[in-house]
Amino acid sequence: MDALYPLKFQPILKDKIWGGQKLHQILHKPTTSKNAGESWEISDVEGDTSVVANGALQGSSLNYLLETHTSDLLGEKNFRQFGTKFPLLIKFIDAKEDLSVQLHPNDQLAKARHNSFGKTEMWYVVQADPESNLIVGFNQEMTQELYLKHLEDKTLQSILNFDTVKAGDAYFIEVGRIHAIGAGVLLAEIQQTSDITYRVYDWDRVDSEGNERELHNDIALEAFDFDMPDNFRVNYTKDSDSPTELVSCPYFTTNVFKVNDTILKENTHDSFMIYMCVEGKAQIEVDGNQTEISMGETVLIPACIKRFSISANHAKLLEVYV
């Protein structure tokens, strides 16, 4: 059996009605599409399984690695909890147009309805055009009755919270919270392995054949949490040289840090570690072997690799583990 090493995967590119060209232009993804909306960096979603792009295991699927390397890849605690299912879905998203206004179900509802994990997620803004925004939550205290009245009256926009954003801003999107990525935003998304979205409003858009996309207002109602506190913005010290925590929840922890030298890392988390490069480029070294990671690339460090180094003249990385 081949030994594990820092793994890169072939990006799974998704065209979307709202997608653009930044995945290619800024993150250098291999696409010429004018509507590239998402690059799935690491995925164990059924039908969209990642395939290794580097080294001796090139061409192997993530499924194969999970079956053959189990806790060496995942960590013992994660293997006990998730078996041979990879618990996170890692993406870059380019919104040339506004995404639909949506929310996600929690674990219990997702399990009962879809036999799936729920979809807790977070966003890190990689680039944003001037005045571009994200929708997160409501701009006032909300009840189901008030929400339904605005939905019926087609005045939903008037109660949504719009936040103007810039590169480096981060948001925690809990299940049950209404949200949407606005036009002009390029971001990294870390989430539970789930592709379940309840779309409640789509800006009255139609496709090339004049059809509106399906809305899920009936089933979305049970997924809403109208009592959620206004704590979705992540407040942190930007441009820190040491890892700065953005989000820590039962599903994932995400840190951000700059690399201007060589950093020795020790994995004490009993988990795989994921690095997303959101600025510059860096080298990850394990036992004398180097793996380069450039802006827009993602590397998975298997849990069995306990010590490694990261070197760069200038890079900024997101660090993710369970």
pTM: 0.95
> What is the model's pLDDT at position 275?
98
Q: Which residues make beta-bridge pairs with 30?
A: none
Q: Which are the contacts of 59, defined by CB distance < 8 A and separation ≥ 6?
A: 51, 52
> What is the model's pLDDT at position 209?
85
Tokens of 181: 């990525």
> What is the model's pLDDT at position 177?
96
Q: Which are the contacts of 249, defined by CB distance < 8 A and separation ≥ 6?
A: 120, 172
> What is the model's pLDDT at position 12?
98
Residuewise pLDDT in 10s, the chain (322 residues): 679 999 999 999 999 999 999 999 999 999 999 999 999 999 999 999 999 999 999 999 999 999 999 999 999 999 999 999 999 999 999 999 999 999 999 999 999 999 998 999 999 999 999 999 999 999 999 999 999 999 999 999 999 999 999 999 999 999 999 999 999 999 999 999 998 999 999 998 887 788 888 999 999 999 999 988 888 999 998 877 778 999 999 999 999 999 999 999 999 999 999 999 999 999 999 999 999 999 999 999 999 999 999 999 999 999 999 9
Q: Is the dihedral of CA 259, 315, 29, 254 positive or negative?
A: positive
> What is the model's pLDDT at position 213?
86
Residue 179 in contact with residue 121, Cβ under 8 Å? no
Q: Which are the contacts of 297, defined by CB distance < 8 A and separation ≥ 6?
A: 8, 276, 277
> What is the model's pLDDT at position 112?
94
Q: What domains does the chain contain, in order, with CATH numbers?
A: 12-223 (2.60.120.10), 244-321 (2.60.120.10)
> What is the model's pLDDT at position 206?
81
**DSSP label at residue 116:** S
C-alpha to C-alpha distance for 96 and 35, rounded to whole angstroms? 8
> What is the model's pLDDT at position 2?
78
| C-alpha distance from residue 219 to each of 110, 115, 121, 142 (Å) | 11, 15, 20, 18
At 150 the three-state DSSP class reads: helix
